[in-house]
Amino acid sequence: MDVGTGLSTRVADLMPQAREELAELVAIRSVADPRQFPPEECDRAARWVRERFAALGFTDARLARTADGSNAVVGSRPCDRADAPTVLLYAHYDVQPPLDDDAWETPPFELTEKGGRWYGRGAADCKGNILMHLLALRALGDGVPVNLKLVVEGSEEQGTGGLEGFVVDNPDLLRADTILVCDTGNAAVGRPAATVSLRGMVNVVVTVEALASELHSGMFGGAAPDALAALIAMLASLRDANGNTTVGGLDNRNRWEGEPYPPAQFRSDAGLLDGVRLLGDGEVSDMLWARPAITVLGIDCPPVVGSAAAIVPRTAARLNLRIPPGLAPEVAQQALTAHLRAAAPWGVHVSVEVEATGSPFRATTDGPAYRAMGAAMQEAYGTPMVTLGQGGSIPLCNVLTDTYPDAEIILMGVEEPQALIHAPNESVDPREISAMALAEALFLQRYAAVPR
C-alpha cells in the first residue's frame, strides 16, 4: 500500500467521527452579532475548536481576544526536523445568521443529511473547513513533517477586522512559510481548485435632494424635480444595455486567464429564471473575476403599499462596487463618486458617503507550496487543480501579504457552488471534506520534502 492509499483509507475511516463533530459544531449558533445571538455561543465554539486542536498536539492552543471582542483560537505544533517549513492553518468558526428560517428545508443549526449532502448553517462556511483540518491531521497522526501554526477566528462574517488587527500586533505569532486560508472552495464537487484572485470593494451611500418637502404630484408634478427619478437615472447610467458596468474611468474589458465558468453551470448555480439573460459582453468568468461590477444594495423610497401621490424630495441608495486585482479602491471610489455627480440631472444636490473599502488580492502561483498543492490535489481527486477567482473579499489576505511578504498564501476549502453559503439551506458534500482533507495531508508531506 502506497502512502497516498494509506492516507485515503485513514481519512475514510475517520469520516464517521468527522460527521459527529461537524454536527456538534453546527449546533453551536456562533453568529458573531450579539444583537441576534448570545455571545456565549461564539465562546462555546471557540472552546470547542481549542479543545480539538489541543488534543492533536497543539498543546499551547489558547483563546486570544481581538480588538473587536471576538476570540481567535491560536496555537502551534512544532516538528522535530530542524529544517522543516512552517505552515499556518486558517479557518473561522463564526457563521452567517440563518436569515429566513421559513426558507430552510432542514433546521439551520442541526446537521441533517439529505440527498447525500449535509445541511446546516456553517456546514461548509466555514466549520466544514475546520473539520477538514482536523481530519487531515488525524490521518497523518504523529507523522506531520512540518511545523504547524493555527488561527481560527471568530468574527470573519461580521467584517469587523478583529483578526486583521491581531496579525499586525502579533506578527511573529503567526509567521509562516505558507498559509492555507481555508475559506473558499472548488469549481464543483470533484473538481479541485485554488482561488488565486479576490475582488476588492467600495461601498457608498449616495443621497439626492431636490425639494424642501413632499409636494402634491398633481399640483407640482411635471415642473418640480423628483429626487427619486433623478436617482433612478443616475443608477441606470452605471450599466449599459448589455449589463456591463460603465463607471467612468474604470476599465470593463479585462479578461480572466484561469478556469472558465461555463454559462450553463452559472445559470444553474445562480438560479436564473427562464428567459433571463446573463449580463455583459465578456465570458462569465470575466464578469465575475476580472471586471468591475456594481450592485444596488438598497434604496430609500416609499413602499408601494402606503405610498401617496407626492413627489419625493429626498432619497438615497447604497451601492456596492466590486473591483478586480490591479485596481486600487481609492481610484475606484473617486471614479464612482465622480460618475454619480456627473450623471445627476436637473441640478439636484448629490452627496456620496463612503461606507467601506477593501483592496483586491492576487496570489502568487509560482512557488514550491503552490506546486506541492497542485500535485496533492491531483492525487487526491484524480484530476488537475484549476485556478478560480472569487467575487467576495477577504481583507485578511492583504494583511497577511503585507505582514508576511515572503509567505505563499493558498486559498482553498470544501465550499463549492451547491453549498449555498450565506443563504438558506447551506450544505456541504461530505466527499469534499474527505477529498480536501486528503489533499491537505498529502500537501503537508510533499511540501516538507521540498529541498531548502
Question: Any idea what the CATH number is for the domain that residue 347 is in?
Answer: 3.30.70.360
Dist CA 303 CA 290 (whole Å): 36
Domain boundary among 313, 337, 358: 358
Domain count, the chain: 2
- Which domain does 31 fall in, by range? 3-198+360-448
Candidates 60, 297, 128; CA nearest to 201 is 297
Dist CA 253 CA 100 (whole Å): 37
Across the chain, what does the average pLDDT equal?
Answer: 95
Q: Is residue 91 part of a domain?
A: yes
Q: Is residue 317 part of a domain?
A: yes
Q: Is residue 89 part of a domain?
A: yes
Say if residue 204 is in the same domain as residue 83.
no
Number of H helices, E strands in the chain: 12, 18
Torsion angle in degrees (nearest 10) through CA of 391, 179, 181, 38: -130
Residue with cell 445559470: 267
Q: Residue 98 burial (CB < 10 Å; 0-12/13-18/19+)?
A: buried
172 is catalytic: no
Say if residue 376 is in the same domain as residue 347.
no
In the chain, % of residues over pLDDT 70: 99
In the chain, % of residues over pLDDT 90: 92
Q: Is residue 208 part of a domain?
A: yes
Say if residue 206 is in the same domain as residue 187.
no
pLDDT at 2: 62
pLDDT in tens, 150-192: 999 999 998 888 999 999 999 999 999 999 999 999 999 999 9
Say if residue 152 is in the same domain as residue 125.
yes
Domain boundary among 312, 332, 358: 358
Q: Is residue 346 part of a domain?
A: yes
Q: Which of 94, 153, 259, 416 is flagged as catalytic?
A: 94
41 is catalytic: no
Q: Is residue 268 part of a domain?
A: no
Say if residue 152 is in the same domain as residue 235.
no
Domain boundary among 358, 382, 411: 358
Q: Coil, strand, or helix at residue 440?
A: helix
pLDDT in tens, 115-153: 999 999 999 999 999 999 999 999 999 989 999 999 999
Say if residue 211 is in the same domain as residue 168.
no
In this structure, the number of other CB atoms found within 10 A of the CB of residue 452 comes to 8
Q: Is residue 244 part of a domain?
A: yes
- CATH of residue 108's domain is 3.40.630.10
Q: Is residue 249 part of a domain?
A: yes
3-state SS, 219-273, equals HHECCECCHHHHHHHHHHCCECCCCCECCCCCCCCCCCCCCCCCHHHHHHHHCCC
Say if residue 38 is in the same domain as residue 157.
yes
Candidates 424, 447, 415; CA nearest to 189 is 415
Q: Which amino acid is at 195?
A: T
pLDDT at 390: 84
pTM (whole model) above 0.75: yes
Say if residue 40 is in the same domain as residue 117.
yes
Say if residue 295 is in the same domain as residue 243.
yes
Radius of gyration (Cα) for the chain, nearest Å? 24
Candidates 61, 70, 85; CA nearest to 32 is 70
Say if residue 401 is in the same domain as residue 311.
no
Say if residue 22 is in the same domain as residue 71.
yes
Q: Which of 21, 156, 177, 440 is flagged as catalytic?
A: 156
Alpha carbons within 13 angstroms on the beta-carbon side of residue 195 total: 30
Say if residue 173 is in the same domain as residue 115.
yes
Contact 85, 367 (CB under 8 A): no
